[in-house]
Amino acid sequence: MEFKLPDLGEGITEGEVIKWLTKEGDQVKEDQPIVEVMTDKVNVQIPSPRSGRVTKIFVKEGDVAKVGQTIMVIDEGGSGTPPQALVFPAPRPPVAATPAPVQSAPPAQGVLATPATRKLARELGVDIAAVSGSGPGGRIVDDDVKRSAARSGTSTVTVQAAPAASPTGGPREDVVPLRGLRRTISDRMVKSLRTTAQVTHVDEADVTELVLLREALKGSAEKRGVHLTYLPFIIKALVPALKEFPYVNSSLDEQGGSIILKKYYNIGVATDTEQGLVVPVVKDVDRKDIFELAGEIEKLSSKARGGQLSLDDVHGSTFTITNVGAIGGLFATPIINIPEVAILGLHKIAKRPVVREDKIEIRDTTYLSLSFDHRVFDGAYAARFTSRVVETIQDTKKLLAEVL
């Protein structure tokens, strides 16, 4: 039978083969994970629809396959019947598995590790199946592989290098393939800038009262078992602004010639991971208080950094926040997470001199940068929206009405 790349949903039309979990000649069982594929949203492991022997693999690791493209052939028993295209089970995200005894499948198949960590292990000559994981749920992380390589003395990475040598005799340049999540991010960012008319509006917010409010509520959050950051407050401050300015919470249907105004509020939270930037989605934020939001953000961030996000975790955002405040800097111009039409950048909170009633005071302030698609709404609309967010953040009474 021909194994075609199945429809992964959410309008996904292609995926990059990150890792084959089997090889030609292997016997596979029905529902056994056989290939790991990266889409523009998340990694998924695709199971075999039938038991049989793998006779041919058409797509190499690192190559991109289209939905419906034959990527391998499975012989179900040599009955002589012609190959058939079948409907496959839905793909599933990577999950932990108990290492199996020695068999025909690759020994690292049951190991809990991201594609990037597996690649690092191959480069360092480390048998990943023999590495103990220190990450969530026993997941093997990069540091585990590096420690194992250091112990075994196999820490030399084999890479393509430029001919020129450094004064010490080593290569002066390393060539790193643009693959996996890095390539996905590259493609999406270029597409976003190429297909939208992006402009960035920057405003300043006095968050002195917000700092005090968060400090007052941290104890209540700890009793609920959650770590309270500023992000849930900002998300709640977005809700009245998105309702008042619905075009910010929309998408543009170019083919249909229409703007789709969303009456639900799903906020994507750009999350920095070892593999790159991913955007898990907090659903229906208008129906949750800050403690619920804090817990959900914490859970999604942990899954993102552990490479455990499912398609549902990254699906359906209507507006995205990217928070670089913990890293530093003044402000930036974020790139829109298409097909959305706007993204809000959150930046470092710092004490700065502020003029209030003709007097200079030291206040906690921050900058908010809104990048938006000028085809959907204009600069004045963007400025009014951002001002509404700032107004809610700065007014403790209004903020309390939203957060609790």
Spell out the long-range contacts of 101-106 with Cβ–Cβ below 8 A and sequence spacing 24 or more.
Answer: 104/25, 104/26, 104/27, 105/21, 105/22, 105/26, 105/28, 105/32, 106/21, 106/22, 106/23
The verdict on residue 343 lying in a domain is: yes
Say if 105 falls within a structural domain.
no
Residue 289 clears pLDDT 60, i.e. is over it? yes
Q: Per-residue pLDDT for 277 more than 70? A: yes
Question: pTM score, two decimals?
Answer: 0.67
Query: Nearest 5 degrees, angle CA 348-CA 351-CA 353?
Result: 125
Which of 75, 93, 113 corresponds to the end of one domain? 75
Residue type, 91: P
User: Does residue 374 carry a catalytic annotation?
Assistant: yes
Last residue of a domain, one of 42, 75, 108: 75
Distance CA(18)–CA(180), nearest Å, equals: 7
Closest CA to 245 of 370, 402, 365: 370
pLDDT for res 91: 47
Q: Is the model more confident about 145 or about 209?
A: 209
CA 140 to each of CA 101, 115, 122, 152, 271: distance values in angstroms, whole numbers, following the listed order: 19, 11, 14, 17, 20
Domain-located, residue 268? yes
Task: Identify the domain boundary among 75, 101, 117.
Answer: 75
Q: Quick check: 249 pLDDT over 90?
A: yes
- Identity at 182, one-letter amino acid code: R
Query: How many degrees, rounded to 5, is the angle at CA 118 between CA 114 and CA 120?
Result: 115
Upstream peptide bond of 240 is cis (omega within 30 degrees of 0) = no
Predicted confidence band of residue 81 (pLDDT cuts 50, 70, 90): very low
CATH of the domain at 36: 2.40.50.100
What is the count of structural domains for the chain? Answer: 2
Q: Flag whether pLDDT at 166 surpasses 60.
A: no
Structure tokens at 87: 């409907």
CA-CA-CA-CA torsion for 10, 45, 41, 283, nearest 10 degrees? 70
100 within domain boundaries = no
Residue 162 within a domain: no
Query: CB neighbours of 187 closer than 8 A, spacing ≥ 6?
Result: 40
pLDDT of 85 reads 42
Q: Which residues form the domain of 63?
A: 2-75
Quick one: pLDDT band at residue 169, thresholds 50, 70, 90?
A: low
Q: Note whether residue 136 is domain-resident.
A: no
| CATH number of residue 288's parent domain | 3.30.559.10
Q: What percent of the chain has pLDDT over 70?
A: 83
163, with CB counted inside 10 A (0-12, 13-18, 19+), is exposed
Share in percent of the chain as helix, strand, coil (round to 5): 30, 25, 40
169 within some domain: no
pLDDT value at 377 more than 90: yes
By mean pLDDT, which of 183-192, 227-236, 290-299, 332-341 is the weakest? Answer: 183-192
Which residues, including other chains, have CB under 8 Å from residue 166's CB and lie 6 or more apart? 172
Q: Is residue 116 part of a domain?
A: no
Residue 269 tokens, joined: 């939270």
